[in-house]
Structure 1
């Protein structure tokens, strides 16, 4: 009796054990042996795979008419089985087979024991799967990183290199096979997703860096992205999501009121400068604008100044030049603001696309994780 599918390099000699002879002619020979057998391993569901290995025992010399083989039990005796740290024995059923070959008419019986093994996956879950899940959830956060930080692309490349290292660890812990394991598919899918996210990050960075010289935003992009998608993903203008404290808000509100009053006074002053000069003799009439001069000397004619005209015109020309300079600076500021508005809109488009792809990739990672966990259960 031999193991049909042997994998030993050399045939070992049978042990010198005694044969038990009974009075009724029954002979019992217990021969201990350590042998190796080949088994086809399917790693498609690694590390949650189950394997079935067949151990077939039969005679090479005698056929079924000469020696018949009968299995005493339907399953193998596992009472003395030593548990393995990597594999869990779930059963060992035994089946008798009678095979007739084409060369001979005699039957050839054999007994086949099927070892049902399940891989203990705790080691691979804590060392390969959970780190990959954490890294994959970290990858979409690259879209939330501010574009001005300069680390968006670096984060994607770093995550991709980390997954490459884990992929090499998986390849080293598995036998070579044509079947791609489940965890390998998960790594490849995650690496593909991170590669796509890095490429999209580069494109969005280019959109963010569009300056005032760029083309205006197309109408469809303005409607779809700026009007609708920005509201869906709660994207505000640049800096609006950085909320201020209540004290700062009150201070800014007071400053705004004060600035408004100053602006009204400046506007009144600017309008008054546009009015023609009016004179009566050697006196100049302008009580409301130049109150400081009126404090020095007030006339008897309803608040007219008693300052000579040639001295007062000198101050008037000075104020006109000052107002002209202020008007020039204001116009230049408005022009620069209108020019930079185009670049600000492109930055908002890039920010909206960042939020959109962040939620898309978070959804992909979530469903991929659910699928891999469902296979484990």
Structure 2
């Protein structure tokens, strides 16, 4: 038992000695840090540039780390981003020999105690003009000062929404000194681009790079050059949200517009369907317009909405015209010969439009019926039958005896009228003429009714063929426009 307890006692003694030594070191470093701070800032002033030669420029190294994109306001063209801004420079009056201070090589002090470059965001679009966050700076023995400060910046960004929601945006973040020119403070890129290693993925935007470029500009107010560093944030919009919430409903609604031509004209819903679809697209158009800036560049989805609304308006107008053709009655003129040939003969076969009882394999019977109706309509006003009956009566008058016998026999059997002499026969003949006129009048009315009905059927078929024609035309237009906008997405 004694042998096993000896190593444990030695280990415990070593831990105690190590703790005492480290505590002594920390106490010594704290003492030297306090002494160093008092000596460095005894006669130090943070109002002037910390350079020994005022003719030389002070180099400030700038590095930007993008942590998160908080918001992209397309309507107001403002980008809100969370950045980590690192600035480093050398202060000629804040140096020490670390051997004199027990190897103390760096201290951390409040940033407002040292001179800081007045580097600001040139294209800032925030109403708050407060000072930067007063985080601590790291001061090294050789005079190098490193200042890391977080910042939520709102910068102006020219947003081009021509290809919304499949657009790419480039937003600039320009940093430079506000009062010091290039002969006094020079800005140097720490990296060729912004640091994206700690970037938090955004749900709406993809980051494709953040290159940095140094510019030296001479403004009209001053003759001295003013350097700045411009970080270009390259963004690509994630379009899945807009495809499923704005584009796909519009495509589905637009495919309802051609189906209005397929509705029967007697249903009374053809115009209602077109107006309903037009109102639905207007709602989506207003939703897009509310989020887009009021610029001359119309977004791609807005162009699609406008084209679709124009197409639906045209289809509704054509539907009204076709319904007017469908309801042509007896007062309308007959179908012109060119329309009968082009529409009824050719287009009806192309678009498979047939009458009731007719199909693509046996249209001959319907053709015979149509020919008969056309023949009746063509000769509806001629009185050929009346002429035949009149000539027959004139021949019968030449033969009085035969006429008397025929009239007497016919009238005795049918009407019970007794004719005993030639005078009664003439009276019976006049009665027969009146009866024939009445029958002919009824036949003419029936013939006129059939002719008017045939004319209405022809106009209805013309309207049906035109409905099918425009239905396929508008289906092709909708498919073509949808293919174009999906092609932009790919």
TM range (shorter): 0.7 to 0.9
Please say if residues 182 and 225 of structure 2, whose CA atoms lie closer than 8 Å, have aligned partners that are also in contact: yes
Q: 1:130 is matched with which residue?
A: 248
Contact 1:238–1:348 (Cα < 8 Å) also in 2: no
Alpha-carbon distance in 1 for matches of 2:222, 2:284 = 54
Bigger drift between 215-224 and 169-178 goes to 169-178
Structure 1 match to 2:156: 38
Structure 2 CA distance, aligned partners of 1:224 and 1:126?
Answer: 44
Q: How far apart in 2 are the matches of 1:187 and 1:239? A: 42
Specify which structure has the higher proportion of strand.
Answer: 2
Q: What residue in structure 1 maps to residue 489 of structure 2? A: 376
Unaligned 5+ segments in structure 1 are 244-309
1:335: Cα distance to partner? 4.2
- Of the two, which has the highest radius of gyration? 2
Give secondary structure in 2 for the equivalent of 1:95.
Answer: strand
Distance in structure 2 (CA, Å) of the matches to 1:331 and 1:225? 30
- Whether 2:336 is the aligned partner of 1:223: answer no
Secondary structure (helix, strand or coil) at the match of 1:65 reads: coil
Confirm whether residue 56 of structure 1 aligns to residue 174 of structure 2.
yes
The 1-side partners of 2:283 and 2:135 are apart by 53
Normalising by structure 1, we get a TM-score of 0.75
Among residues 362, 366, 369, which one is paired with 2:479 in the alignment?
A: 366
1:34 counterpart SS class: strand
CA distance in 2, matches of 1:14, 1:133: 49
Alignment correspondent of 2:47: none
3-state DSSP class of the match of 1:35? strand
Please give the TM-score of this superposition, normalised by the length of structure 2: 0.58
Distance in 2 between residues matched to 1:239 and 1:214, nearest whole Å: 26
Higher relative contact order (CA 8 A, sep 6+): 1
> Which one of 91, 101, 111 corresponds to residue 219 of structure 2?
101
Per the alignment, in what secondary structure is the counterpart of residue 193 of structure 2? coil
Cα shift at 1:140:
0.4
Alignment of 1:159-178 (within 5 A): 159-178=277-296
Deviations 1:29-71 (A, max 9, x none): 2222222111111111111111111000111121222222111
Q: Which residue is equivalent to 2:272? A: 154
CA deviations 1:47-101 (Å, max 9, x no partner) are 1111111000111121222222111111111122122222222211111112223
Where 1:156 maps in the other structure, the secondary structure is helix
Change (3 A) 1:188 1:74: same
- In the alignment, does 2:199 pair up with 1:88? no
**Retained in 1: the 8 A contact 2:181–2:226?**
yes
Match of 1:27 among 145, 169, 183: 145
1:206 aligned onto 2:319:
no
The match for 2:230 among 95, 108, 112 is 112
1:356 aligns with one of 457, 469, 481: 469
Which structure 2 residue ranges, 5 or more long, are not aligned?
A: 1-118, 362-408, 417-431
> Per-residue displacement from partner, 1:157-206 (whole Å, max 9, x unpaired)?
11111111111222223333332111111111111111111111011101
**Residue 11 (structure 1) shift:** 1.7
Contact kept in structure 1, 2:163 and 2:300, CA below 8 Å:
yes
Count how many residue pairs are aligned between Structure 1 and Structure 2: 310
